[in-house]
Amino acid sequence: MKETFNYKQAFQHPIILRKIYKKVEMPFGGVRLSRFVTMLSLFALLLLFRNVISALNGIIPGLSLVIYILIPFYFSGLLLQVNPDGKNLFFFLRDYATYFFTIKLRRKKYSNDAEVLYMNQTMRTRERK
């Protein structure tokens, strides 16, 4: 008799970065790929506002290290715990972007999963005498 094995847990296991290239190893064991990508995204967002951050660094010295490293690390953990509509955050953002650019911006109208054509045009009617 054959036994079936449930691979769901193995496939949902996160991808962990332990080494970047061949010589750069993570000193603390490893970091999830999704968290690393989220941290890089938040870091890039903080670089856009670096003038504001440098003004804060003038008031409190040593604050830039906290802002550029600890804040993206902390907020990436918070963002990965968010499950909008029961989905992973990245899958939700991908699906929302698909909806936004294909339906919302083009102002399409749907009825029973079929696109309704000519909804934005007015009908010409004959005049009554």
- Other residues' Cβ atoms within 10 Å of the Cβ of residue 17: 14
Span 104-121, mean pLDDT?
Answer: 75
The span from the CA of 119 to the CA of 111, in Å, is 11
Span 102-109, mean pLDDT?
Answer: 80
Whether the per-residue pLDDT at 95 is higher than 80: the answer is: yes
Span 14-35, mean pLDDT?
Answer: 82
Whether the per-residue pLDDT at 44 is higher than 90: the answer is: yes
Average pLDDT, the chain: 82
Q: Report the chain's C-alpha Rg in angstroms.
A: 25
Q: Which has more confidence, 87 or 45?
A: 45
| Cα distances (Å, whole numbers) of residue 81 to 45, 87, 124 | 20, 11, 54
Span 28-41, mean pLDDT?
Answer: 86
Say what the pTM is: 0.64
- Comparing 7-11, 56-60, 85-89, which segment has the lowest mean pLDDT? 56-60
Question: With contact defined as beta carbons under 8 Å apart, do 78 and 84 qualify?
Answer: no
Whether the per-residue pLDDT at 87 is higher than 90: the answer is: no
Q: What is the pLDDT of residue 125?
A: 65
Whether the per-residue pLDDT at 57 is higher than 80: the answer is: no
The span from the CA of 85 to the CA of 96, in Å, is 11
Residue 41, both tokens = 């995204």
